[in-house]
Amino acid sequence: MEGRTGEEPAWFNEPCILGIDEAGRGPVLGPMVYGCAFCALSQKARIAGMEFADSKTLTEEKRETLFEALKEDTSIGWAADVIHAKDLSSQMLRSEKKSLNAISHDSAMGLIRGALDKGVNLVEVYVDTVGDPEKYEQRLSEKFPGVRMTVRKKADSLFPIVSAASIVAKVTRDRALRAWVFEERGVEYGRQFGSGYPADPETKTWLAANVDPVFGFPSLVRFSWGTCKPLVAKLCVDVQWENDDEDESESTSARKNRRYESAAPGRHSYFKSRQLQQVTTHL
Amino acid sequence: MQGDILERRVLITYDQKENAGTTTGGEALHLRHPKTAVPSLYLLIREKLQEVHWFKQQLASWFIGESVSEDGSLYLSSPVDPLFIALPLLEQARMKKGDSPGMFRGLEEMLEVEGFPGYQKLFDVFEKTLDMVCEVREAGDTKYYRLDDFKALAWLCCKVEQASAALKMKGGKAFHGLSDDELRTYSIGLLSEYLPAATWMKRLSDHYGVDLDAAKKARVLLPVQPLPCAPPPPPPAKTVPVAKGRASSLAKKGPQPGDRKITSFFARPR
A2-178 belongs to CATH 3.40.50.720 = no
CB of A135 within 8 Å of a chain B CB? The answer is no
CB of B9 within 8 Å of a chain A CB? The answer is no
Q: Which residue has the higher pLDDT, A52 or A183?
A: A183
Q: How many CA atoms lie within 13 A of A113 on its CB side?
A: 10
Q: What is the ipTM score, two decimals?
A: 0.74
pLDDT in tens, chain B (270 residues): 444 556 788 999 998 888 888 888 889 999 999 999 999 999 999 999 999 999 999 888 898 887 788 889 999 999 999 999 999 999 999 988 888 888 999 999 999 999 999 999 999 999 999 999 999 999 888 999 999 999 999 999 999 999 999 999 988 888 888 888 899 999 999 999 999 988 899 999 999 988 777 655 444 444 443 333 444 444 443 333 333 333 333 333 333 333 333 232 223 333
Q: Is A132 annotated for ligand binding?
A: no
Query: Which residues on A lie below 8 Å from B115 (Cβ)?
Result: 283
DSSP codes, B82-122: HHHHHHHHHHHHTT--TTS----EEHHHHT--TT-GGGGGG
Domain boundaries, chain A: 2-178, 201-273
pLDDT for B93 equals 93
**What value, to the nearest 5°, has the Cα angle with vertex B149 and ends B146 and B153?**
130
Nearest residue of A to residue B75, measured between CA atoms: A279
Lowest mean pLDDT among A125-129, A252-256, B33-37: A252-256
CB of B12 within 8 Å of a chain A CB? The answer is no
Measured between CB atoms, which of B56, B189, B193 is closest to A261? B56
CB of A267 within 8 Å of a chain B CB? The answer is yes
Measured between CB atoms, which of A240, A241, A267 is closest to B193? A267
pLDDT for B236 equals 42
Nearest Cα of chain A lies from the Cα of B97 at a distance, in angstroms, of: 31
CB of A266 within 8 Å of a chain B CB? The answer is yes
Q: List, for residues A162-182, the tens digit of each pLDDT value.
A: 999 999 999 999 999 999 999
Q: Which residue has the higher pLDDT, B223 or A2?
A: A2
Cα A86 from chain centroid (whole Å): 7
Nearest Cα of chain B lies from the Cα of A260 at a distance, in angstroms, of: 4
pLDDT for A120 equals 95
Q: List, for residues B34-49, the tens digit of each pLDDT value.
A: 999 999 999 999 999 9
CB of B35 within 8 Å of a chain A CB? The answer is no
Q: Which residue has the higher pLDDT, A254 or A131?
A: A131
Q: List, for residues A8-65, the tens digit of each pLDDT value.
A: 889 999 999 999 999 999 999 999 999 999 999 999 888 888 877 666 778 999 999 9
Going by DSSP bridges, is the β-strand pair A76-83/A32-40 parallel, antiparallel, or unpaired? antiparallel
Q: Which fold has domain B1-80?
A: N-terminal domain of TfIIb (2.20.25)
Above 70 in pLDDT, residue A140? Answer: yes
Query: Which residues on A lie below 8 Å from B58 (Cβ)?
Result: 242, 258-261
Domain boundaries, chain B: 1-80, 81-147, 149-218
Question: How big is the A-B interface in CB pairs under 8 Å?
Answer: 70
Distance CA A98, CA B57 (A): 33
CB pair distance less than 8 Å for A269 and B189: yes
Q: How far apart are the first and last CA of chain B?
A: 66
pLDDT for B70 equals 84
pLDDT for A51 equals 77
CB of A261 within 8 Å of a chain B CB? The answer is yes
Q: Which residues 204-233 of B are in CB contact (within 8 Å) with A? A: none
pLDDT for A283 equals 59
